[in-house]
Structure 1
């Protein structure tokens, strides 16, 4: 089968499709024929910065985290799915596999595809939406009436975070480009702040900040005393956080079907929308990764596995 398998440090421009052996599912695994996969920052960061050891990603490994596809084979202990089911899911960071024609995955990382989404749209849901949900719920504990600042609000995680924060009843200040202001307000953002402006012009009464662009030195001071900050990239200075009497944590998402099913339920109820920026063919993976690296997407970028 065709797959993007990484065997060690490599430049993005040198990544190529390889022919490898088609896998078979073990007891609690299903084998999925991948139709489309979401493209995420880790897909270009890991090879570009040789982050395999830091992220606990043993090589060789197949790139790609989230996907949509069809179950073509089931393991001996499968109880949730059957051959022919259309599913979505996200691999763990240490055991990826979505950039391939076929992939075995634990059934507890997968749910049925939302009935009101295309396979293209569905491929962009798992990782970004679960990251946003876990950050807002488990890490920031967002409550109705709280004031929340969301960085890179028009990006893959940000679009879900804005909507989920509004569903929770928060007052949302979205950071993005001026050209996306009306779009972000349509998602529920109460205010939109242009990322090119000085953060010192923002108020310092936020209850929570979700940061995906490593802006802690500028934004920690915008929190109330006792406020919470979460970074999806570089960790904030604990010394600075303590001096400001706020908490600062850093995390990477945890793939699981429970949180993903909550997302699917919201999508099927029409409460959560999915936005796709660009769709790339499998053979155009390198341009796709470079586009993702540029960091100006409005929504998710998708790779069609053909």
Structure 2
């Protein structure tokens, strides 16, 4: 296929501002003699909450007036290096590395280490809902928590508490922890309790009405691992639920910044991490999707021209699933 010299893209021209502009920019090209860069025709992209603040707080190594957001995407390989396991025409998806531009554009550059073939039988829009959230959950459970990987059997008999279990990452933690053999407890709002149960959670707690300190006082209630997906008060309360010698892990803030007053637990490991795109992890998730054992969730689908509404929806905190821009739609 012919590659246009220019493309439509959302650009955050001023890192001090969260304003975006839909404009025309040069189509990116893989570096000469590259061994891992692919040009991808983007079909769909999913922004994530807070990402427009990243350039201000963590300036990316790209020209500041041409930063393109959008970390999760699905698309088609247009060009590939000869050493690549991917070929022109392959349908792929990925979480874009922050070291390069995102994919809120008609074309993007992605590297071998982060892309995987899109699961069979799902659309680009559905695929876009998967990479960031699923890899974050995978790494929290099977890399950071220190219990074991998916197939180790070490999760059998373990109890896991997931805060914000109906959220984009939480729903993946529930599904993956259950597949690994853990007993899963999730917190959610009253309107999402059944949704979390449907994902496989053994017990679901309404965070507005259940006091975790009181709940954890019951015999056998405490958990081996807390996976916190929302921080603040929920993380503070979750400390009461972990056993001595257990682990509190948060993807939102360092857990030691939210230890409740009067807490007397012993030998609890606390962890905070930021996920990194990993092809091996995404391929393992793809296999589970293909087998029908896990699923992503799309909240809504929008054309690129309505990007302002997209980001309002993403930042509003009421989306159930990923908010996706579909480049095939017209406003």
Q: Could you tell me the TM-score, scaled by structure 2's length?
A: 0.84
Deviant stretches of 4+, over 4 Å: 238-243
Confirm whether residue 33 of structure 1 aligns to residue 41 of structure 2: yes
Instruction: Name 2:226's counterpart in structure 1.
Output: 209
CA distance in 2, matches of 1:239, 1:178: 24
Cα offset for 1:85? 0.8
SS at match of 1:152: coil
| Alpha-carbon displacement from aligned partner over 1:281-303 (angstroms, at most 9, x marks no partner) | 21122221121112222222212
Q: Structure 1 297/141 Cα, relative in aligned 2: closer, same or farther at 3 Å? A: farther
SS at match of 2:292: coil
The runs of 5 or more residues in structure 2 that have no matched partner are: 1-6, 148-154
CA distance in 1, matches of 2:180, 2:88: 37
CA distance in 1, matches of 2:83, 2:178: 37
Confirm whether residue 275 of structure 1 aligns to residue 294 of structure 2: no
After superposition, residues 1-306 of structure 1 pair within 5 angstroms as 1-12=7-18, 14-26=19-31, 27=34, 28-46=36-54, 50-53=56-59, 59=64, 60-75=66-81, 77-142=82-147, 143-197=155-209, 198-203=211-216, 205-214=222-231, 215-237=234-256, 240=259, 244=265, 245-306=267-328
CA distance in 2, matches of 1:91, 1:78: 20
Q: Structure 1 174/44 Cα, relative in aligned 2: closer, same or farther at 3 Å? A: farther
| Alpha-carbon displacement from aligned partner over 1:111-164 (angstroms, at most 9, x marks no partner) | 111012111100111111000000011112341121111111111111111100
CA distance in 2, matches of 1:114, 1:196: 37
RMSD: 2.1
The runs of 5 or more residues in structure 1 that have no matched partner are: none
Cα offset for 1:100? 0.8
Q: Structure 1 10/303 Cα, relative in aligned 2: closer, same or farther at 3 Å? A: farther
Cα offset for 1:170? 0.9
Q: Structure 1 280/239 Cα, relative in aligned 2: closer, same or farther at 3 Å? A: closer
CA distance in 2, matches of 1:44, 1:175: 28
Q: Could you tell me the TM-score, scaled by structure 1's length?
A: 0.91
CA distance in 2, matches of 1:297, 1:145: 33
Q: Structure 1 20/150 Cα, relative in aligned 2: closer, same or farther at 3 Å? A: same
Q: Structure 1 174/45 Cα, relative in aligned 2: closer, same or farther at 3 Å? A: farther
CA distance in 2, matches of 1:32, 1:239: 41
1:90–1:110 CA contact under 8 A, matched in 2: yes
Cα offset for 1:42? 3.6
**How many equivalent pairs are there?**
300
Cα offset for 1:190? 0.9
More moved, 172-181 vs 259-268: 172-181
1:154–1:184 CA contact under 8 A, matched in 2: yes
1:72–1:83 CA contact under 8 A, matched in 2: yes
Larger RCO: 1 or 2 (CA < 8 Å, sep 6+): 1
CA distance in 1, matches of 2:196, 2:255: 26
Cα offset for 1:11? 4.3
